[in-house]
Amino acid sequence: MDRSDSEKTDVLPMFKQEYGRYGRQMLVPEFGISGQLDLRSKRILVVGAGGLGSPAIQYLAGAGIGHITIIDDDTVEESNLHRQTIHAGNVNVPKSESAAEFVGKLNPCISVTPMVVRLSPSNSFSVFEGHDLVLDCTDGPAVRYLINDTAVLSGIPVVSASALKTEGQLSIYNYNGGPCYRCLFPIPPPADAVQTCGDGGIMGPVVGMMGMSQAMEAIKLLTGVYSESFTPFLMLYSAYNFPPWKSVKVRKRQKTCAACGDVPRISRQLIETGQVDYSEFCGSPSQVLLGEEHRITPEEYSKIVSTKHILLDVRERPQFDITSFPRSINIPWSELKHKEELDVQVDGSPVYVVCRYGNDSQNAVDKLQKLGIPSKDIKGGLYAWAKNVDEKFPIY
């Protein structure tokens, strides 16, 4: 080694191994070695290691973010794996630990901390502390408001995404004059209008695309792409539309915002003492709760299953197509609730109503009562049937 080489080695800003590992992205002019050194010095917090978090974490780890903290208190279920491929072979393992295991295997040059806890108003500020950026990879409005408020009060930007069925959305909040989540959505949507991936369904690559886009936006933000001028935007993805991508301009920071406005009404103290009630703020879906006389257990139903009766299945059509009882009649709750009469010949037979988990079936029995048709709901739905009576019945 001649003199000039050894001098250079003494002042290398990265380990030699990292040059090889990150070479392909350092070749990209928009990124370069300065981008690499930026990422190397940054700490990211990923809230949620599910459909969005899994791909985001994979690509952020690959890109060489200095430190990644992953917080999620959930464990891996088989129904996650079509989209959360980071968790291969890890059913029943806590998601944050499973994801951290992947990060350790993929890139030993960075550090990772898994946290098997739920983000809550009492821990959010200490969890956020010391991070340059937060990725909101969660799945409900209440936690999204908590992440927003904590990020605003901690001065940390958020790259936020969401997905359902065939569509996804992505935005950057609390950054460079742009809005926070509350600027765009000062009031949460009615709880009945909110669907989860477990109810509405989700295509794996749709949520994967959104998580990966979060990783790309995180890299851009952390390497200063938006530091001089930032036009707040919302990215919309719709897999079955043409063209599938659209990016729209959204409002700037709102002076009247409760979190980031000129006179904020939300403070760390109000959050930590539980005075900002996130679950109450976002509400819960309306649900009829029937008296026992209108209900029957799956075990009781199994005894009368061969007697003459009508079984009404009120799940949506795609669910009914997946699996159903022989001779059951499908009228989805979303249609039944608008009906003024039932186009089914009841002629004195007892009517039983079933759904997936036993919620909509109670709404349906209540509705049938109003149409003058007495009926009973099967408690706990097909899920309870499969668990308590017929273990061969497929649940999804």
Partner 1 sequence: MQITVEFSGGLETAFDGNKKHVLDVPEGSSVNWLLHHMVETLMPDHKREEGKNIFLQDESVRPGVLVLINDSDWELEGEDQYILQPRDVIIFASTLHGG
Smallest gap from residue 299 Cβ to partner 1 (A): 34
Nearer to partner 1 among residue 9 and residue 196 (C-beta): 196
- Binding partner 1 (rule: CB under 8 A), the pick from 85, 123, 238, 330 is 238
Q: Which of 61, 151, 194, 336 binds partner 1 (CB under 8 A)?
A: 194
Q: Which residues are catalytic?
A: 197, 355
Shortest Å, Cβ 229 to partner 1: 16
3-state secondary structure 166-177: CEEEEEEECCCC
Please check whether residue 278 is in contact with residue 188, taking contact to mean a CB–CB distance below 8 angstroms. no
| Closer residue to partner 1 (CB): 11 or 193 | 193
Q: What is the dihedral of CA 388, 394, 395, 396, to 10 degrees?
A: 170
Q: 364 CB contacts (<8 Å, ≥6 apart)?
A: 312, 314, 333, 336, 353, 355, 375, 377
Our finding on whether 141 is near partner 1 (CB under 8 A) is yes
Query: Which among 106-114, 138-146, 264-272, 357-365 is the span making contact with partner 1, rule CB under 8 A?
Result: 138-146
- Please identify which residue in 82, 165, 268, 309 interacts with partner 1, judged by CB under 8 A: 165
Q: Give the residue, chosen from 200, 224, 274, 285, that forms a contact with partner 1 under the rule CB under 8 A.
A: 200
Query: How far from the centroid of its chain's Cα atoms is residue 106's Cα?
Result: 24
The angle that helices 32-40 and 16-26 make with each other, rounded to 10 degrees, is 120
Residue 163 near partner 1 by CB under 8 A: yes
* 27-to-13, 61, 256 alpha-carbon distances in Å: 17, 18, 44
Q: Is 161 in the site for partner 1 (CB under 8 A)?
A: yes
- Say if strands 233-238 and 167-173 run parallel, antiparallel, or are unpaired: antiparallel
Q: Does 152 bind partner 1 (CB under 8 A)?
A: no
Considering only 86, 115, 119, 164, the residue that binds partner 1 (CB under 8 A) is: 164
Residue closer to partner 1 by CB (options 185, 357) is 185
| CA geometry: angle 321, 326, 330, nearest 5 deg | 50
Asked if 365 and 376 touch (Cβ cutoff 8 Å), the reply is yes
* Positions in the binding site for partner 1 (CB under 8 A): 48, 50-53, 137-141, 144, 161-165, 167-169, 184-190, 193-197, 200, 202, 207, 210, 234, 236, 238, 241, 246-251, 334, 337-338
